[in-house]
Chain A
Amino acid sequence: MDYCIETEGLTKRFGKKMALKDFTLGIGRGGIHAIVGSNGAGKSTLFRILLGVTTPTRGTASLLGEDSRLLSPAVRGRVGYVNEEHTLPLWMTAQQITNQQRSFYPSWNQAIYDQVIGYFDVDPNQKVSGLSRGERAGLNLSMALAQAPDVLILDEPTLGLDVVARQSFLEALMFTETEANTTIIYCSHQMEEIERVADRLIIMEKGTLQNNSSPDDFVGRISYWIGDFANGLPAKNTLPGFLTARTIDGQHHILVADQDDTFGQVLKNNGAQTVTKAPVNLERAVNAFLTKNHNTPGSRV
């Protein structure tokens, strides 16, 4: 398979902390790939290694077929990056920045720039210092898409945007007509956005890869069970695929991964008197995964 991003056994250690642990990931070309992970899951380290800014402790990473440690200027020019800060030189006008950016990228597509900036109300003669956060996000996205990149990395691009700017951003991202088959890597904590935009859902936790599938297939991995246990919840290590459990009104609500309907019998064998399976949505499924190794209060009202 032709990967645009590929890592093999990637490991990065900062002193005692392992930011990435034997991390192996393949991302195919095209589509929108959402990456979800708690703070400190290793997302930023992964991007820094991919872009050649940091070197791995062990393992390999490649971007568009080139080793990340030896990226050529040509490949660097095919990668776009937009971060949550939307940092741009404050003293320059929108027009000046655009002119500068255009001179850097031979494949600059002015028609795409005009189309994307049309979603936002940016006065070309306004200095960046006078632009709102949403307008700066729009300017950044317009320039990134106009470069017609093969890979576009968006790191929490809608953080702190209001409803209107957020909607414009998503529409511009999804519906701008480009000829390029850009692979979009979309980091976000907004499940609502991920549900709308993502073709693939990549979940990272503590430097490891936990999932790489369509969001629907991921939700299919998780099931939610409610049980009455006269003698309390059985030990967690006796329940296969255990993610999280809460006690609500004396009943135990349990989320598990990769279990079929026979899990109900497992619960009964462990002392459950009644067992009910409940539906689960994307947000709950993702949260269960991200919190599975965190402590939760044993009991709630």
Chain B
Amino acid sequence: MTNLSIQIVTGDSRPIFKQIVDGIRMEVAKGNLAPGAKLPSVRGLAMQLMINANTVAKAYGELTAQGLLEARQGLGLFVTEPRQLLSEEEQKKRLDAAIGTFINEVAYLSYDSEDIIKAVQDALTNLGGETKNDSDEG
């Protein structure tokens, strides 16, 4: 069983099920959850986060529909091998949305474009780097 170190907060404008979806996606992106890793049971994660189990089930359902998790009969849920399920159009839409949010956040900071691009580049390199380290260990 993999330890899942995601957090949820109440009072946020993101519903709890969405916070779980985002949290797990981030753990997978960072390589903390490697392909083939087993997720906690619905009840287990609900108890860890102290929320209704149906909320966890909904989040797991969403992640399964997105192709990030897969159910193995009688064994539970596992992280899938990375593959792209979204259409090119959908990917472009999500990228644009993410860039829009990002630009909103950084627009008022006193960095020039070059600094910002460098910081983004470094963050992306880190993402890739961590994934690589994990596969080396395995």
Chain A residues packing against B (C-beta within 8 Å): 31-32, 167, 170-171, 174-175, 191-192, 195-199, 215-216, 219, 279-283
Cβ-defined contact, A171 with B47, below 8 A: yes
- Min distance, Cβ B104 to any Cβ of chain A, angstroms: 11
Q: Name the B residues within 8 Å of A174 (CB-CB).
A: 46, 50-53
Cβ-defined contact, B11 with A192, below 8 A: yes
Q: Name the A residues within 8 Å of B46 (CB-CB).
A: 174-175
Interface string of B94-135 (1 = CB under 8 A from A): 000000000000000000000000000000000000000000
Residues of B42-95 whose CB lies within 8 A of A:
43, 46-47, 50-54
- Min distance, Cβ A166 to any Cβ of chain B, angstroms: 11
Cβ-defined contact, B11 with A175, below 8 A: no
Cβ-defined contact, A199 with B52, below 8 A: yes
Chain B residues packing against A (C-beta within 8 Å): 10-13, 15-18, 43, 46-47, 50-54
What is the bound-complex CA distance between A199 and B47, given in angstroms? 16
Cβ-defined contact, A196 with B10, below 8 A: yes
- Listed from nearest, the 9 A-B pairs whose CB atoms lie closest are A279-B13, A216-B15, A192-B10, A195-B10, A196-B51, A281-B13, A197-B52, A199-B54, A281-B11
Q: Name the A residues within 8 Å of B47 (CB-CB).
A: 171, 175
- Quick one: closest B residue to A283, CB to CB? B11
Q: Name the A residues within 8 Å of B51 (CB-CB).
A: 174, 196-197
What is the bound-complex CA distance between A283 and B11, given in angstroms? 7
- Quick one: closest A residue to B47, CB to CB? A175
Q: Name the B residues within 8 Å of A198 (CB-CB).
A: 52
- Min distance, Cβ B53 to any Cβ of chain A, angstroms: 7
What is the bound-complex CA distance between A197 and B50, given in angstroms? 9
- Quick one: closest B residue to A199, CB to CB? B54
Q: Name the A residues within 8 Å of B10 (CB-CB).
A: 191-192, 195-196
- Quick one: closest B residue to A195, CB to CB? B10
Q: Name the B residues within 8 Å of A215 (CB-CB).
A: 15
Task: Known A175-B43, A281-B12; judge A216-B17 contact (CB<8 A).
Answer: yes
Offer 19 A-B interface pairs, CB within 8 angstroms, sorted by A. A31-B54, A170-B50, A171-B47, A174-B51, A174-B52, A175-B43, A175-B46, A175-B47, A191-B10, A192-B10, A195-B10, A196-B16, A196-B51, A197-B51, A198-B52, A215-B15, A279-B13, A281-B11, A281-B12
- Quick one: closest B residue to A30, CB to CB? B54
Q: Name the A residues within 8 Å of B50 (CB-CB).
A: 167, 170-171, 174, 196
- Min distance, Cβ A178 to any Cβ of chain B, angstroms: 13
What is the bound-complex CA distance between A174 and B11, given in angstroms? 20
Q: Name the B residues within 8 Å of A283 (CB-CB).
A: 11
Q: Name the B residues within 8 Å of A32 (CB-CB).
A: 52
- Quick one: closest B residue to A31, CB to CB? B54
Q: Name the A residues within 8 Å of B43 (CB-CB).
A: 175
Q: Name the B residues within 8 Å of A280 (CB-CB).
A: 13
- Quick one: closest B residue to A174, CB to CB? B52
- Min distance, Cβ A116 to any Cβ of chain B, angstroms: 15
- Quick one: closest B residue to A197, CB to CB? B52
Cβ-defined contact, B16 with A195, below 8 A: yes
Q: Name the A residues within 8 Å of B15 (CB-CB).
A: 215-216, 219, 282
What is the bound-complex CA distance between A170 and B46, given in angstroms? 12
Cβ-defined contact, A191 with B11, below 8 A: yes
What is the bound-complex CA distance between A279 and B15, given in angstroms? 11
Q: Name the A residues within 8 Å of B12 (CB-CB).
A: 281
Which has the most chain B C-beta neighbours within 10 Å: A167, A175, A196? A196
What is the bound-complex CA distance between A198 and B55, given in angstroms? 9
- Quick one: closest A residue to B43, CB to CB? A175
